[in-house]
């Protein structure tokens, strides 16, 4: 079996984000047998999901039935990782996950600039429809681990507690949306993912 870790970055982020790089560095040092996938997601939801699905399908084509997949997602990546978990039957760790992003991101409609890539684009109401269409009900909460910090300045942590109320939960006082001290978690995440 080939273990594959899929890391999904958040809105206006990139594979170069701090948590993505911390996760990849830990795996390279401690578990070099794990293949790490950090797809660069386009800035709009439908295209982002297409890139994620393409990365997974390419891994399946490489490894066939020998693939053992686990997902990690931060913020909007947590929303996407929930979809991955449901569609591919794998475990996922969600870091300060976005809940109902089609409502949350309405406040961000209009011109955007991704600070990692300097790409400029416009977030449109049609993109909120794409997000709504990508939402899936959580049918297997035992496959999910929610890592949440209460002082997240972007997302209301209580929404994640409601959405994922039967999942494993690590709730920390303080912190922020970037999830302070994430470097404490890669080993535990890999164990939870079972890869």
Give pLDDT, residue 111.
95
Residues 192, 69, 139, 87, Cα dihedral to 10°: 160
**Model pTM above 0.85:** yes
Residue 65: per-residue pLDDT: 81
Closest CA to 151 of 179, 126, 188, 129: 179
For position 64, what pLDDT does the model report? Answer: 85
For 4, 103, 156, the CA distances from 71, given in Å and listed in that order, are 8, 24, 23
Write down the pLDDT at residue 66.
86
What stretches in the chain show pLDDT beneath 70? none
């Amino acid at each position: 079996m080939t273990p594959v870790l899929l890391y999904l970055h958040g809105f206006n982020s990139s594979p170069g984000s701090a948590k993505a790089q911390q996760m990849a560095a830990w795996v390279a040092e401690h578990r070099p047998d794990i293949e790490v996938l950090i797809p660069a997601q386009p800035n709009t939801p439908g295209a982002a999901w297409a890139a994620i699905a393409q990365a997974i399908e390419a891994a399946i084509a490489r490894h066939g039935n020998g693939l053992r997949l686990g997902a990690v997602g931060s913020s909007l990546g947590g929303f996407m990782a929930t979809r991955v978990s449901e569609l591919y039957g794998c475990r996922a760790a969600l870091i300060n996950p976005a809940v109902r992003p089609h409502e949350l991101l309405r406040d961000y409609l209009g011109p955007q600039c991704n600070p990692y890539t300097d790409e400029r684009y416009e977030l449109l109401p049609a993109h909120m429809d794409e997000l709504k269409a990508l939402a899936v009900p959580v049918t297997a909460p035992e496959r999910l681990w929610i890592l949440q910090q209460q002082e997240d300045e972007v997302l209301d942590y209580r929404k994640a507690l409601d959405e994922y109320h039967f999942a494993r939960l690590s709730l920390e006082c303080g912190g922020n949306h970037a999830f302070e001290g994430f470097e404490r978690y890669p080993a535990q995440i890999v164990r939870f993912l079972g890869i």
